[in-house]
Amino acid sequence: MGSNIEIIHEQEKVFTKEVINQRSASAGITIIRFRGETLKHQKAEIFKVYDKLGNILFINANSRKLIE
């Protein structure tokens, strides 16, 4: 049975936000991880760049979590 979940990994020289906006525009829900440090520096601006998506769940964790 195929999976309908796609994990998009960060890549050098590629703007992750653009890739997410392109590939997740028609997704039922998009889960996006953010770092606490980024939130401290960029504040709410880090959430505003995902303007082409529908339902978004932003997550943050104190430590790395394995998603299988």
Q: Is-above-0.75 flag for pTM?
A: no
Which residue ranges make up each domain of the chain?
A: 1-68
Residue 31 has what pLDDT?
A: 87
Q: What spatial distance separates the first Cα and last Cα of the chain, rounded to whole Å?
A: 15
- The whole-number pLDDT of residue 68 equals 67
Q: What is the pLDDT along the chain (68 residues), one digit of tens a residue?
A: 557 777 777 777 777 788 888 888 888 888 888 888 888 888 888 888 888 888 889 888 777 777 66
Query: What pLDDT is stored for residue 63 in this prediction?
Result: 73
Comparing CA positions, the residue from 11, 8, 45, 9 lying closest to residue 27 is: 8
Find the Cα–Cα–Cα–Cα dihedral 22, 14, 38, 20, rounded to 10°: 10
